[in-house]
Chain A
Amino acid sequence: MDNKQALTETERHQKYWRANVKILSLLLTIWFVVSFGCSILFVKQLNQFQVAGFKVGFWFAQQGSMIIFVLLIVAYIILMNKLDKKYDVDEK
């Protein structure tokens, strides 16, 4: 009986970790695209477009990326809190 429970806990933890890494991969991909992608690698191409007073590439580089960074952390907190509860590893 104990053995089965122990295995389940380890399995549960492993599943939790894999789900955790998946969330990280998704959020970090967005992080990369917004900062290195839009603001550095493709900034000249994006600068050909202008929205109000901002060239799009420039906006990502000097404003948009940072705002999105904050939102990414918010998303992380929400997703992880849900994940913690789902796998019963949350702090009581």
Chain B
Amino acid sequence: MLDVQTWTYIIVGLTFTLYIGIAVWSRASSTKEFYVAGGGVSPLCNGLATAADWMSAASFISMAGLISFDGLDGARYLMGWTGGYVLLALLLAPYLRKFGKFTVPDFIGDRYYSNNARVVALFCAIFVSFTYVVGQMGGVGLVFSRFLGVSANTGIMIGMTIVFAYAMFGGMKGITYTQVAQYCVLIFAFMVPAIFISLLMTGNPIPLLGFGSELVDGSGYLLDRLDGLSEDLGFATYTDGSKSTIDMFFITAALMFGTAGLPHVIIRFFTVPSVKDARKSAFYALFFIVILYTAAPAVAAFARTNLITSVSNVAYVDLPDWFKAWENAGLIAWVDKNEDGKVQYLGKGRGGGKAITSSKAVAQIIEGKPARGKHGQILVTPDTINTANINELEVNRDIMVLANPEIAKLPNWIIALVAAGGLAAALSTAAGLLLVISTSISHDLLKRTLMPDISEKKELMFARISIFVAILLAGYSTTLNLGFVGQVVAFAFGLAASSFFPAILLGIFSKRMNREGAVAGMVVGIFFTASYIIYWKFVALPIDNNAANWFLGISPEGIGTVGMLINLAVSLLICRLTPAPPEAVQKIVSEIRIPRGAGEATHQ
């Protein structure tokens, strides 16, 4: 039997070979191919690609973990990251496809007859996409460091090289078809363990049904059992959650509206042949996404139940191997606060809280190796031990998906598959984001603003150079370590919700909306949202960053919704006070509302 690491090298190696193969096959030779894959992607393929593009390291690795710890509150991610597709399908995709340009700044620049608007939009696109891609590379680093035995930074470099290879050569064409392959890998990688675990624990192989089933060990319904376990240990009841209603409302809304405003998702709808196909493609995308998203909360509940029953009150020496492995990676820490040799895992209701004060466990190093305690556990540095409570266990949420197959004692090749799936998810999203950054520079900034006479060949060359530079910057920024993969991504949403979504929505649904209104709205929206987030995350003390001090009790993750409303209000107000758009533009708006006559996605 091969060990996990060998299996991981094999499976990851195979998938990487597949991606490069597709890249070679789909070399882009024109800007049309580089930007919109030639405009001929079938709705089914586009749906698969969009789903892979969408499901990033956050969906694959972090989300189930976040739900696992947050219970009901985890629904903000589930609904937030799917609900936006309804908005896209109904309010944006078909009309943008009829509009027929290449990029989001294209739409903004042409609809609002202003190069200033185009430039504001392209900087917003770069900012949002860059924030997002850094989170992805973080996920790549995490998977590499745990499964392939290399440092996170080396992993990031390997990941960057792979993306560079197929994105640079194939552009949107290469990226689209690679994403189709990546979807297949990631869905298989996510569902196989999910099905196994569901079968093991409830006898039902379909995770979304197993979720509501009784446990095979006779202890009743899974969720009832989990509620019971949570309460016994002093955690919030799993099915009740603990976040305030207002914060849940605003965070979920920020994620939904942000989804509909993310450039790398919107551009996917420019690659299909017609308006009807754009609608169909939105259906396929959400369908393929929801396959994973209905399995994830089941996986979360299984993982949480398994974690608690495997470690709570168990002597350290008796803990399973997976615990020690993740401990070595610094993602689980045990501090024997009461010196009884057993793991006490407790929530606030029983005197618990964060066991350590640092976000990642910091081991005491003696002679280059981590110091070990009486029972063999890794000792954390004394100043990071949180003596204010009696909880002894700290578990990094990002590992719940990755560790779950190990916890359920699944065979090694499945564990390796999960690693390959996580990488597929992260790389597919990273590629889509890097393409947006690249097209913003080569098409929106250079071709349409600064150097309109640039030849197609030159434009293509700049597109490739920008991807290269963007990859390097993203990789470097990732090494600076900015927080949970999932939460870094949540900020990009707030920014997209407060800048793009209102501007595009009003552009389609209001003929009167003019450039002054749109630009004012975008600038104010993003400025407000960014300031609020930066203040609470970087300026204020972490101890002050809580509901008592937030505006109306709304967290930085939810402020994007407020930013969006401010954008709408400012846009509508300024629009009243300034001239209406020219007739020609109003005519364009009328035309995009009619499906017939959709041409191929154009360059000019």
Please tell me if the beta carbons of B297 and A27 are within 8 angstroms of each other in the complex: no
Flag whether B74 is at the interface (Cβ < 8 A). Answer: yes
Please tell me if the beta carbons of B249 and A84 are within 8 angstroms of each other in the complex: no
1/0 per residue, CB under 8 A from A, across B230-263: the answer is 0000000001100001001100110010000000
How many of B's residues come within 8 Å of A, CB to CB? Answer: 53
B288: nearest chain-A partner, CB-CB:
A70
| Distance (whole angstroms) from the CB of B356 to the closest CB of chain A | 30
- Pick the interface stretch among B379-387, B571-579, B594-602: B594-602
Flag whether B287 is at the interface (Cβ < 8 A). Answer: yes
Please tell me if the beta carbons of A40 and B276 are within 8 angstroms of each other in the complex: no
Flag whether A73 is at the interface (Cβ < 8 A). Answer: yes
Please tell me if the beta carbons of A66 and B276 are within 8 angstroms of each other in the complex: no
How many of A's residues come within 8 Å of B, CB to CB? Answer: 44
| Distance (whole angstroms) from the CB of B593 to the closest CB of chain A | 5
Chain A residues with CB under 8 A of B596: 84, 89-92
| Distance (whole angstroms) from the CB of A85 to the closest CB of chain B | 10
Q: Report which of A73, A90, A91 forms a contact with B85, defined as CB distance below 8 A.
A: A73
- Pick the interface stretch among B154-162, B218-226, B452-460, B520-528: B218-226
- Pick the interface stretch among B127-135, B278-286, B365-373: B278-286
Please tell me if the beta carbons of A89 and B283 are within 8 angstroms of each other in the complex: no
Q: Report the Cα distance A89→B98, complex, angstroms.
A: 12
Please tell me if the beta carbons of B78 and A61 are within 8 angstroms of each other in the complex: yes
Q: Report which of B90, B223, B249 forms a contact with A40, defined as CB distance below 8 A.
A: B249
1/0 per residue, CB under 8 A from A, across B530-563: the answer is 0000000000000000000000000000000000
* Residues 33-92 of A contacting B (Cβ, < 8 Å): 35-36, 39-41, 43-44, 47, 52-55, 57-59, 61-63, 65-67, 69-70, 72-74, 76-77, 80-81, 84, 89-92
* Residues 185-233 of B contacting A (Cβ, < 8 Å): 208, 211-214, 221-224
B78: nearest chain-A partner, CB-CB:
A62
Q: Report the Cα distance A52→B208, complex, angstroms.
A: 13
Chain B residues with CB under 8 A of A73: 85-86, 89-90, 279, 282-283, 286
Please tell me if the beta carbons of A84 and B595 are within 8 angstroms of each other in the complex: yes
Please tell me if the beta carbons of B78 and A40 are within 8 angstroms of each other in the complex: no
* Residues 271-307 of B contacting A (Cβ, < 8 Å): 274-276, 279-280, 282-283, 286-287, 290, 293-294, 297
A87: nearest chain-B partner, CB-CB:
B594
Please tell me if the beta carbons of A76 and B90 are within 8 angstroms of each other in the complex: yes
Interface centre among B90, B253, B294 (most CB of A within 10 A): B90
Chain A residues with CB under 8 A of B274: 91
Flag whether B581 is at the interface (Cβ < 8 A). Answer: no
Please tell me if the beta carbons of B593 and A17 are within 8 angstroms of each other in the complex: yes
| Distance (whole angstroms) from the CB of A28 to the closest CB of chain B | 7
Please tell me if the beta carbons of B286 and A43 are within 8 angstroms of each other in the complex: no
| Distance (whole angstroms) from the CB of B223 to the closest CB of chain A | 6
Q: Report the Cα distance A53→B198, complex, angstroms.
A: 14
| Distance (whole angstroms) from the CB of B573 to the closest CB of chain A | 23
Q: Report which of A44, A74, A91 forms a contact with B283, defined as CB distance below 8 A.
A: A74
Flag whether B329 is at the interface (Cβ < 8 A). Answer: no
| Distance (whole angstroms) from the CB of B205 to the closest CB of chain A | 16
Q: Report the Cα distance A66→B296, complex, angstroms.
A: 12
Please tell me if the beta carbons of B590 and A13 are within 8 angstroms of each other in the complex: yes
Query: Number of A-B pairs whose CB atoms are under 8 Å?
Result: 134
Please tell me if the beta carbons of B594 and A66 are within 8 angstroms of each other in the complex: no
Please tell me if the beta carbons of A66 and B294 are within 8 angstroms of each other in the complex: yes
1/0 per residue, CB under 8 A from B, across A1-44: the answer is 00000000000010011001100100110010001100111011
Q: Report the Cα distance A71→B315, complex, angstroms.
A: 49
Q: Report the Cα distance A63→B85, complex, angstroms.
A: 16
Interface centre among B79, B89, B279 (most CB of A within 10 A): B79
Chain A residues with CB under 8 A of B248: 40
A83: nearest chain-B partner, CB-CB:
B595
Q: Report which of B90, B214, B276, B280 forms a contact with A24, defined as CB distance below 8 A.
A: B90
Q: Report the Cα distance A66→B287, complex, angstroms.
A: 9
Flag whether B83 is at the interface (Cβ < 8 A). Answer: yes
Interface centre among B75, B213, B283 (most CB of A within 10 A): B75
Q: Report the Cα distance A17→B589, complex, angstroms.
A: 11
Chain A residues with CB under 8 A of B78: 61-62, 65-66
Chain B residues with CB under 8 A of A20: 593
Q: Report the Cα distance A61→B597, complex, angstroms.
A: 40
| Distance (whole angstroms) from the CB of A5 to the closest CB of chain B | 16
Please tell me if the beta carbons of B83 and A31 are within 8 angstroms of each other in the complex: yes
Please tell me if the beta carbons of B213 and A90 are within 8 angstroms of each other in the complex: no
Please tell me if the beta carbons of B90 and A28 are within 8 angstroms of each other in the complex: yes
24 A/B residue pairs, CB under 8 Å, sorted by A: A21-B509, A27-B86, A28-B86, A40-B252, A52-B212, A53-B212, A57-B239, A58-B239, A61-B78, A61-B79, A62-B78, A65-B75, A65-B82, A65-B83, A66-B82, A69-B83, A72-B86, A72-B90, A73-B85, A76-B279, A90-B276, A91-B274, A91-B597, A92-B596
* Apart from the given pairs A62-B75, A62-B297, 20 other A-B contacts in the complex at a CB distance below 8 Å: A13-B593, A13-B594, A16-B593, A16-B594, A24-B91, A28-B90, A36-B252, A40-B248, A44-B240, A58-B223, A65-B83, A69-B82, A69-B290, A70-B287, A73-B89, A73-B90, A73-B279, A73-B283, A81-B276, A89-B594
